[in-house]
Amino acid sequence: MSDDSAGGAPGGAADDVDPVTLEVVRNACTAIAEEMNANLVRTGYSPNIKERRDCSTALFDADGEMIAQAETMPVHLGAMPFSVRAAIDRYPPETLDPGDSVLLNDPFRGGAHLPDLTLVSPVFRDGDVVAYAANRAHHADIGGARAGSVAADSTEIYQEGLRIPPVKFAEGGETNEDVLDIILANVRTPEERRGDLRAQEAANATGRRRFSDLAADHGDELDATLDAVKDYSERRMRAEIAELPDGTYEFSDVLDDDGRGNETLPVEVAVTVSDDEVVVDFEGTAAQTEGPVNAVFAVTASATYYAVRCVTDPDIPPNHGCYRPVTVDAPEGTIVNPTPPAAVVGGNLETSQRVTDAVLGAFGGVVPDRVVAGSQGTMNNVTFGGTDPRDGSPYAFYETQGGGFGGRAGRDGVDAVHVHMSNTMNTPAEVLETAYPLRIERYELRPDSGGAGEFRGGLGLRRDIRVRDHEATFSLLADRRTNAPYGLDGGDDGSPGLDALVDDDGAVRERLPAKTTRSLPSGSVVSIRTPGAGGYGAPEDRTPEALGRDLRLGKVTEAAARADYGDALVSAALDTVERTDDPYDAD
């Protein structure tokens, strides 16, 4: 399947828009999207939205083309246009009325995976649809075989939760109670779902109201101005691509496994730069698999768009125009474009990261100074579910874990952060322990997990979680436990992740597969240790001051430093430690 429908050279009435009006409207649309997201986070009911901010918002024009987005989740933002298109195809503008909203999550009709619910609301002016406000939020449970709906053992989409094609969720400003009842009857935490859906409605109401004000201010010139905003982004993106050397650049990376015995699943990519366009071809990528690591085309396109934006000017306004010069070819029946009824929950989470790694790796062969070394390459999805012993109610807890961000030219990687397609927060320990019958026993960086290099890779983290006073269902869906994040330009690989059940003293009792679902008795402690990132540049080129700083802060042990950097450099680094009075001097 190929995404080449967005072509077309800028021109027409949009060329007549003056630059001041263009900038005023462009920034107003961005502000609207940001305010939508702020309202979604502020009014969300679940910790997954209120604390982790696993949600995204955007504005689309009357044709369903994105015109602005909040700076939130990359995996959502590049894929949301496919959901908006599916909503419009099902409900053309003439079938909609003010106050209507369309809800969907079907991965094979514009969605990503079932926990991500997308709400699309038309904006009217003088009886016509002039825009759409849309948001996507990850719900901590959407039914299915396992609590949390992110099961590592699913083999078909029917096991992963309630599948919602585009349906009218609101009509004339009133929620469709029949649709809501169906959703709430199929989830483990109905009141939490009700609250998060109301937050999504509130966010879109904000978008409708603010955009209506903007339309009233700019009248008949608004449509041409929105076209000009997209054309402006396209021109800037084409100019950036034109500066890259023409040629085809290839890279291959792998997923560890699919949790069903299929191992070392390749993601092959060939990036062809030709004049001011880029074609990204995934021919040779593994066939779709039994386990839940299949990424639907919208997710693959989203990861590809993100990677292309990473190596071009980050100030280019993100909208439909900047995607026009990028074509994605993903063969059907592969893990980057599966066919129904493939299990896909992990494709949005894990395979999207590997697509990013592979496309960035290809660009590393032509513009290495713009590319980071391999980051942790996983979202480390953790789910607990069961009956809360404090009040007898069912609960479903879901979170992703941060890890290492890759070293890059001139800078070390960042420690313990969400990378690339994930841009959420870690759940604060206090919130987790208040909301769920769980306890954080340990939460710290993993020393020596970042790959050595002139610029060290970021460190992974360790998070130990205890089950309190009940039997819980636990699911882990992760990757980069076998195949490490790659180093770049001579840097060493980062350390793979490791997951285990541990004793009270922290000693490993049982290693856990990276994709596993099981019951845990009360008192069990799960230790999630996320991957570090690859280093950038040869380790021998690291400065003694930088290595000394790592030693002072405990990010690198002396034994590991001697193995990775050599005795001479370590001795010079230790000299800088002795000369430093402030143990937390970062520079």
pLDDT of residue 6: 38
Q: What is the pLDDT of residue 579?
A: 65
Closest by CA position to 391, among listed 246, 165, 191, 102: 191
First vs last Cα of the chain: how many Å apart? 49
Q: Span 444-449, mean pLDDT?
A: 98
Mean pLDDT across 511-536: 97
**What are the angstrom distances between the C-alpha of 284 and each of 254, 256, 462?**
12, 17, 35
What number is the average pLDDT over the span 13-22?
A: 80
For the whole model, what pTM was predicted?
0.93
What's the mean pLDDT in 108-119?
A: 94
pLDDT, average across residues 48-74: 92
What mean pLDDT value characterizes the chain?
94
Whether residue 458 has pLDDT greater than 50: yes
Average pLDDT over residues 438-467: 98
Q: How many CA atoms lie within 13 A of 227 on its CB side?
A: 16
Average of pLDDT values for 455-460?
98
Structure tokens at 568: 């001479």
Task: Assess whether pLDDT exceeds 70 at residue 8.
Answer: no
pLDDT-based confidence at 72, cuts 50/70/90? Answer: confident
Per DSSP, helices labelled H in 428-474 are 429-435
* Cβ 419 vs Cβ 374: under 8 Å: no
- Provide the edge-to-edge strand list for the sheet that holds 472-477: 394-399, 381-387, 472-477, 515-520
How large is the average pLDDT for residues 249-272?
97
Q: Quickly tell me which residue has 């313990």 as its tokens.
A: 416
Query: What one-letter code names the amino acid at 517?
Result: T
Of 14 and 86, more confident: 86
pLDDT at 364: 94
Range scoring the smallest mean pLDDT among 6-10, 325-329, 457-461, 534-538: 6-10
pLDDT at 523 over 90: yes
| Residues 6 or more apart in contact with residue 85 via CB below 8 angstroms | 64, 110
Query: What is the structure's pLDDT at 134?
Result: 97
Does residue 586 carry a pLDDT above 80? no
What does the pLDDT read at residue 553?
A: 96
pLDDT for residue 518 is more than 60: yes
Quickly state the pLDDT bin for 105 (edges 50, 70, 90).
Answer: very high
**pLDDT tens digits for range 382-414:** 999 999 999 999 999 999 999 999 999 999 999
Element (H, E) at 264: strand 263-274
- The yes-or-no verdict on residue 515 having pLDDT over 90 is yes
- CB atoms near residue 516 (< 10 Å): 15
The answer, yes or no, to whether residue 425 has pLDDT greater than 90, is no
Asked if residue 5 has pLDDT above 50, the reply is no
Residue-wise pLDDT tens digits, 159-212? 999 999 999 999 999 999 999 999 999 999 999 999 999 999 999 999 999 999
Position 1 pLDDT exceeds 80: no
Backbone φ and ψ of 399, nearest 5°? -155, 160
Share of residues in the chain with pLDDT > 70 (%) = 96
